[in-house]
Amino acid sequence: MLTSLKPKVTTIISNNAESVENRLTELCNLLRDTVDYYDWVGFYFKNGDKEELKLGPYAGEPTDHTIIPFGKGICGQVAVGNENFVVPDVAAQDNYIACSITVKAEIVVPLFKNGENIGQIDIDSNTPNPFTEEDERFLEFVNQEVSQIL
Ligand code: SME
């Protein structure tokens, strides 16, 4: 199912006629519209030289958390931990920043450019425990594609 989305991801990313921002927004919309348990899909990127993340393109409800300090929340932990973070039940997490009371689970996958962790894709789900290794592999693929245009 997720694998079948890969060609569409590549098509969106390689469309040089569009700005990077528009391509990333289109990608977020594709993922949110196609995968029923992806309810909020967005990118965070390192904010210049600061030890914080800044919200980039996203699809879903607007969030107050446009800046997240490194180490804070799931996103901030991935910024320093450099590994995928799958949260089957957000209520069981101590270091978690709630964006919406409807969210039950979250997955954050770091995005590397030339080996450096420069951001991440963040997905919230209103479905409990929906993420599997298939999501991790797929989102790693998405980030590899995205890193090529950054
Ligand atoms: N829940 C995230 C914050 C970002 S929102 O999900 C959009 C976290 O704990 O880092």
pLDDT in tens, 59-84: 999 999 999 999 999 999 999 999 99
pTM for this model (two decimals) = 0.98
Which pLDDT does position 139 carry in this prediction?
98
Per-residue confidence (pLDDT) for residue 148, from 0 to 100: 97
Instruction: Give Cα 31 distance to the centre of its chain.
Output: 10
Q: Token pair for residue 10?
A: 């590549």
For position 28, what pLDDT does the model report? 98
Extract the residue ranges of the chain whose pLDDT is less than 50.
none
Q: What is the pLDDT of residue 1?
A: 87
96 lines ligand 1 (CB under 6 A): yes
How many angstroms does the Cα of residue 73 sit away from the middle of ligand 1? Answer: 6
For a mutational test of ligand 1's pocket, the pick from 53, 90, 123, 124, i.e. the residue with the most ligand atoms closer than 8 A to its C-beta, is: 124
Tell me which residue of 10, 47, 43 sits closest to 25, measured CA to CA.
43
Q: Which CATH superfamily is domain 3-147 in?
A: GAF domain (3.30.450.40)
Q: Cα 47–88–57 angle (5° rounding)?
A: 30
Q: Are 150 and 116 in contact (CB under 8 A)?
A: no
Q: Is 122 in the pocket of ligand 1 (CB under 6 A)?
A: yes
**What SS3 class is residue 137?**
helix
